[in-house]
Structure 1
Amino acid sequence: MTALPVRERLSICLVANSRFPIVEPFTGGLESMTWHLAHELVRRGHDVAVFAAPGSDPSLGVEELEVDALPEHAGRHDVGAPPYVEVAEHHAYLSLMLGLAGQDAQRFDVLHNNSLHYLPVAMARTLPMPVLTTLHTPPLWWLESAVRLDAGASSFAAVSRYTASSWSSVADVTCVPNGVDVSRWPVGPGGATAVWSGRIVPEKAPHQALQAAHLAGIPIVLAGPVLDLDYFHEAVEPLLGAEATYAGHLAQADLATLVGAAAVAVVTPDWDEPYGLVAAEALSCGTPVAAYARGGLPEVLTAETGRLARPGDVAMLARAMEEAATLDRVQCRAHAERDLSLTRMVDLYEGLYVDLLAGGLAA
């Protein structure tokens, strides 16, 4: 991409989710997207400040939100938090927004909110700079309430057409699909196994990937952080064995090697997946995908790069795995480079920033 003219090099406030550090190995797609967005914006010459959880990657120039860490084994880390953590998150975002409305009012050209917290949305009207919020989930009640309160003071993007549509009753939303850094997800040789990667939680349903792999007679490897220990012990562990193994929470390079060495990647959402970043990562590695047709996932795949199954239909998913494993790896990589790349995503966000500053979107 050609660098923007000097007049279009921006000072950007990038607000991250406070629940998890923005650091490898990433907890999920939200953390990965924020990290890659920040790095690519800096590479393009922008001045970026990332407000994120303690422990985030220091190379981002992070300004830490003052939030207590979650207890090591306190249930669902991505859903629930002790009350004292919720209060700390509220105060951290309140302090940030008050600062941006006060002493830091002239510091940034634009604020890009990638948090799941309500305050950056609810307080957008108090800021002198335009605000863009990326919606990374289907409507959550606390965030939907803030969007209604915002009443057009800021602008919204969503990570898929499906997610944009799910918010359409409360906001005008532009679709900016998530993107992967294809240089960090290189083409792999393929192999004889299947792979499943992501947060190990009930709504990602890795146990169904294990069941489908067993039906298809394909060995499978799981990788990702265990965020729900009870679910892992009760639903996943009993299905592990010689042909179904858990590799742990891998560093990005190791995960890319694992995915690139698989015959097929399996994606099994038991909820309306907002995008499906793990599918895009697999395709970048040349690995075709078998997935449930939920949420934004059908937008990531094509007939040449994957097969879809009815949500929850393990037998159909097993057949999809068998068919997907025969697809052309070259076409998978080409699709990722052309349609699913980080470059394309950041091009679109840069365009939105410029439009905001020109008054072309709500501000």
Structure 2
Amino acid sequence: MSESLRIAVVASSRYPIAQPFAGGLEAHVWHLTRALTLAGHEVTLFAGAGSDLPVESDRLRGELFEPSAAARSDVSMPPIEVLHDHHAYLSLMLSFTRNPDDFDVIHNHSLHYLPVAMGPAVDTPMVTTLHTPPTPWLESALALAPDTRCVAVSRHTAHAWSHVLGSIPVVHNGVQLNHWPIGTGGDDLVWFGRLVPEKGAHLAIEAARIAGRRLRLAGPISDKTYFRDHVAPALGDQVSYEGHLHQHELARLVGSCGAALVTPVWDEPYGLVVAESLACGTPVAGFARGGIPEIVGDTAGMLVPGDDVVALAEAAEKAFTIDRREVRRRAEQHCSDIAMIDRYTDIYTELVAERERRGSRRLAGAFSA
């Protein structure tokens, strides 16, 4: 699509879209917003303070709300972070409602219910990408606004929402392949992601021990108690924590390892670390949960049933034998940000055209009256 669009991208009000990323969602929005900007679109990012994109940003935090002493003392006062999120999204959606011509399209990536619940009141067309399985507040909002235009990040996630939304399109998250160059590999295993219980780093540690391979861990320590109790005791010669790395440092680490362990203890909606590993030519040994099999396919890794660390250790050894060029080819064919941007711009174009048709019908009705 050659026409430049004014796109509002709505992300988390709590976390900056900046490196090193708080998680996969923030990384995805960072790459998407940059790619849209490079494609010639005018992008405004609504995200947490400190976002570092070369576009307007930090707008959500510009409406920070501090309740009065009377409100704070009320029994209904929620945690202050919850109230800040609520006020940020409420003020943003009211701004969209009052200024319908500021943007051609709104792309919502937040996990908050208010953008969805208030979407029908906004004249600007909006699409919501579903990055998670159903959550109570978001499901409630979508149940009351079933005509909300949604896409899912995987077929697995689309199916998880089908009881509310029926059939919805899938747009797989893409990565900028030139930022994740193919590496030479090596003898070590790598695990990267948020260090929280549901990502299962402790299972990767156990599988690496069984396989007799050194494991290199990277990512933010998002749960300090989990890290202290389940990761730190294992650190030593065979397990190292490389830190919370910037993207180019992380790509270098992943590309230098022979296989990547992916060990979620829940059904991953997508699994961005899988796409990033494949882009580096690093085969994946992981649990066949959620959307992960859609990314790995039949040629780029070895998947086993969830929580089976013995099978995972065996899969890791087999993964070392996979041709890294075939792994990279899988990424080029299925994980490219170019395909993602093309798909999203098609959706934007369709939404803008629908708005123009609605406007034409209203204008015709006014003249006929």
| Length-normalised TM-score, structure 1 | 0.92
Distance, in Å, in 2 between the alignment partners of 1:115 and 1:279 is 22
Gaps of 5+ in 2: 65-77, 359-369
For the Cα contact (< 8 Å) 2:217–2:240, is it kept in 1?
yes
Q: Out of 111-120 and 233-242, give the one that drifted further.
A: 233-242
Aligned match for 2:85, one of 72, 83, 89: 89
Distance, in Å, in 1 between the alignment partners of 2:210 and 2:80 is 45
Tell me what 2:250 maps to.
255
Q: Out of 234-243 and 281-290, give the one that drifted further.
A: 234-243
Distance, in Å, in 1 between the alignment partners of 2:116 and 2:21 is 25
For the Cα contact (< 8 Å) 1:208–1:268, is it kept in 2?
yes
Q: What amino acid is aligned across from residue 162 of structure 1 in structure 2?
A: H
Aligned match for 2:114, one of 119, 133, 137: 119
Gaps of 5+ in 1: 69-81
Structure of larger gyration radius: 2
| Length-normalised TM-score, structure 2 | 0.90
| Structure 1 moving runs of 4+ over 4 Å | none
Distance, in Å, in 2 between the alignment partners of 1:294 and 1:241 is 29
Distance, in Å, in 1 between the alignment partners of 2:55 and 2:328 is 28
Q: What amino acid is aligned across from residue 110 of structure 1 in structure 2?
A: V
Aligned match for 2:351, one of 337, 342, 356: 356
Distance, in Å, in 1 between the alignment partners of 2:260 and 2:353 is 42
CA shift, 1:58, in A, is 4.5
For the Cα contact (< 8 Å) 1:49–1:63, is it kept in 2?
no
Q: What amino acid is aligned across from residue 82 of structure 2 in structure 1?
A: E
- Secondary structure, counterpart of 1:62 in structure 2: coil
Tell me what 1:338 maps to.
333
Aligned length: 341
- Secondary structure, counterpart of 1:290 in structure 2: strand
Q: Does 1:45 align with 2:40?
A: yes
CA shift, 1:130, in A, is 1.1
Residue by residue over 1:100-129, the C-alpha shift from the partner in whole angstroms, topping out at 9 and shown as x without a partner, is 100x21111111000001000000011111
Tell me what 1:222 maps to.
217
Distance, in Å, in 2 between the alignment partners of 1:170 and 1:302 is 28
Residue by residue over 1:7-34, the C-alpha shift from the partner in whole angstroms, topping out at 9 and shown as x without a partner, is x321111101122110011111100111
Residue by residue over 1:41-72, the C-alpha shift from the partner in whole angstroms, topping out at 9 and shown as x without a partner, is 1111111111010011142321421277xxxx
Residue by residue over 1:231-274, the C-alpha shift from the partner in whole angstroms, topping out at 9 and shown as x without a partner, is 11111111221011111100111000000000000100011101
Q: What amino acid is aligned across from residue 339 of structure 2 in structure 1?
A: R
Q: Does 1:306 align with 2:301?
A: yes
Q: Does 1:282 align with 2:281?
A: no
Q: Does 1:205 align with 2:200?
A: yes
More helix by share: 2
For the Cα contact (< 8 Å) 1:163–1:296, is it kept in 2?
yes
Q: Does 1:167 align with 2:150?
A: no
